[in-house]
Amino acid sequence: MPRIRASRSRRISKPDKADNVVEIAIVGAGIIGIATAYYLSVKHGRASVLLIDSRAPMSYTSAQSGDNFRNWWPHPTMTAFTNDSIDLMQSLAVETRNRFNMTDRGYVLATRRADIGELTAAVGSRIDVDVFSDPGLIGRKFPALSDDIRHVVHVKRGGDFSGQQLGQYMLEQFREAGGKRLSGDVTDIRNDKAYAIKIDCEDGIRIVEADVVINAAGPFIKRIGEMLGVDLPVINIYQQKIAFDDKLAAIPRDMPFSIDLDEKELAWTDEERALLAEDPECRWLTQMMPAGTHCRPEGGERGTWVKLGWAYNQRHSEPQHDLENETARDPQFPEIVMRGAAALLPSLTPYIQTPPARFAHYGGYYTMTTENWPLIGPMGPTNAYIAGAMSGFGSMSACAAGNLCAAWVCGRELPDYATLLSLKRRDDATLMAELEKATNKGLL
């Protein structure tokens, strides 16, 4: 994603005019920006496309992706959108001989609640699932799950993949089709007859003129929107993950991406609970925690690493240029997520007292609307578009998002959900009221 910083006095570089005037400029070289560039250049034959970012491609939020995919959503619009993205990913997997290691083990949604009618009613017939409610069958099919799990919904259309490899392939194809990249910070955008994009590059300030500008700046889409006079309805929330070397072989290598759907209290000893309750800053750890702890093996059947996540943070953040400096980053998170995950996967319990020797603690921003739907399509000013606000589902949705944004730009046929995923849905008061009051917004 592009770093946005205050403009300072620097010389104006004067590149060749042919490199200084483009048809389409895309701000942001995360996987969404790359997918948009790919479909514009490869599918629609647009050769004059420039991808702008101060960082290496996919080195910011895209690098923190869980790299999972699913068509499980509480609303049919999002199911249709992600189904299209999975279709496109599967086509690319065939085309590349599965270069990005796309699997199809599905998602496991596990719960201890007695009644799952509300859950299965929300899924309806739109999503291919198996529901398991027999304890013996659950134990045989999903042996790592806790014995107190009463129901499992196995979402068939889901799995994992390498977002970095997928993005790298699309970037290569974009370059072969004539697309170009420019490294620099976008500091200003002016709109006259064409868009004048001011870019702070290592060798000086550069002004690029573009007929079309696409805001794919990830956590910075709001700032880019402000440069164009648009107040985008998005927030950023920093969410953390860990990955660790599972030396105890606690997690089966063929286990699907598994999610605990239940709220929970963490399993502290009485002494630990009393000490935490006395500390105002730690008391929240003794209270009911939200649902959504999730786990999956990483690196295939021969790998040894495991990923854990839990998107329980609700504090809004201004995106930092260096993710390591994010104040929401909690050094206690590895222990918290391990305790939460052990409630679903008891074999992880030994790691609570003796943490893994090798692990990575990382995080990235969930850039989202309040309804947790993306923003793809016209942004307001003529020939300005957006592709963003995909909190926690950017990598899995990148193909559909890039394809949809490219269709908007090129005036091609749009899917039925196109307007609903654009800023235009904000004009539909009935729809917005329905989405904002929903208790399940598909956030994982």
pLDDT tens for each residue of 314-349: 999 999 988 888 888 999 999 999 999 999 999 999
Could you read off the pLDDT of 381-390 as tens digits, one per residue? 999 999 999 9
97 vs 383: CA distance, rounded Å = 37
Per DSSP, the three-state class of 400 is helix
Nearest alpha-carbon partner for 405 in 20, 57, 27, 21: 27
Q: What percent of the chain has pLDDT above 70? A: 95
105 vs 49: CA distance, rounded Å = 37
Mean residue pLDDT of the chain comes to 93
When computed from its CA atoms, the radius of gyration of the chain, rounded to whole angstroms, is 22
120 has pLDDT over 80: no
Could you read off the pLDDT of 238-257 as tens digits, one per residue? 999 999 999 999 999 999 99
Longest distance between any two alpha carbons in the chain, whole Å: 71
Under CATH, what is the fold of the domain 17-65+164-234+370-437? Answer: FAD/NAD(P)-binding domain (3.50.50)
Residue ranges covered by each domain of the chain: 17-65+164-234+370-437, 236-368
Could you read off the pLDDT of 91-115 as tens digits, one per residue? 999 999 999 999 999 999 999 999 8
pTM: 0.93
Q: Which residues lie below 8 Å from residue 134, measured CB to CB, with a gap of 6+?
A: none
Q: Are 51 and 26 a contacting pair, CB within 8 Å?
A: yes
Per DSSP, the three-state class of 91 is helix
266 vs 272: CA distance, rounded Å = 11
* The two three-digit tokens of residue 355, written as one number: 């943490």
Q: Give the helix/strand (H/E) hosting 93.
A: helix 76-95
297 vs 11: CA distance, rounded Å = 50
